[in-house]
């Protein structure tokens, strides 16, 4: 009898675990050009991906920013810059684990001033 109670209690404990499912997603890569940055406690970086979608990345104090092999900062993320972000989905939020910063997108660069004659 005691054994049966112990086994069933253990099942109850494990079942309680099952009820607390936290479906977290895989890591994904987001490759695109920064459209705008909203810097706050949790900063949001809006990126237009190479597939043409718009994705908003949440960046917090754990997000690592890199430029090549050197450390960078959120302040280095500006509109028009190319980025490749490693992200995880947490509910409806796309959290950036790491953001690699690249060059300014050619389309975002201001056109060179024309010659004046």
Partner 1 sequence: MALLGLGAGGAGLAFVLSAGFSARDEPTAVEAFVARRLRNFSIPREHRDARNPVALTPVVLARAREHFADHCASCHGNDGRGQTTLGRNLYPKAPDMQLADTQGLPDGHLFWIIKNGVRLTGMPAWGEDTPEDDSTTWELVHFIRHLPKLTPEELAEMREFNPRGRRDWEAAEAERRFLEGGEVAPAPPSSHAGH
> Tokens representing 92?
């409806």
Name the minimum Å distance from CB 37 to partner 1. Answer: 18
Q: Is 38 exposed, middle or buried (0-12, 13-18, 19+ CB in 10 A)?
A: exposed
- Residue entry with tokens 């790491």: 98
Name the minimum Å distance from CB 103 to partner 1. Answer: 4
Q: Which is nearer to partner 1, 70 or 116 (CB)?
A: 70
Which stretches of the chain bind partner 1, using CB under 8 A? Answer: 1-2, 4-24, 26-29, 31, 50-51, 62, 64, 66, 68-71, 82-84, 86, 88, 97, 100-106
Name the minimum Å distance from CB 7 to partner 1. Answer: 7
CA angle, residues 75, 43, 94, in degrees to nearest 5:
125
């Amino acid at each position: 009898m005691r054994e049966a109670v112990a086994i069933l209690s253990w099942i109850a404990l494990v079942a309680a675990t099952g009820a607390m499912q936290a479906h977290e997603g895989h890591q994904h890569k987001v490759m695109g050009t920064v459209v705008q940055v909203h810097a706050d406690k949790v900063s949001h970086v809006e990126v237009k991906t190479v597939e043409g979608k718009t994705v908003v990345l949440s960046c917090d104090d754990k997000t690592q920013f890199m430029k090549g092999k050197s450390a960078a900062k959120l302040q280095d993320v500006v509109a028009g810059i190319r980025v490749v972000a490693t992200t995880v989905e947490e509910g409806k939020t796309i959290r950036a684990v790491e953001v690699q910063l690249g060059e300014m997108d050619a389309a975002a660069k201001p056109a060179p001033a024309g010659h004046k004659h």
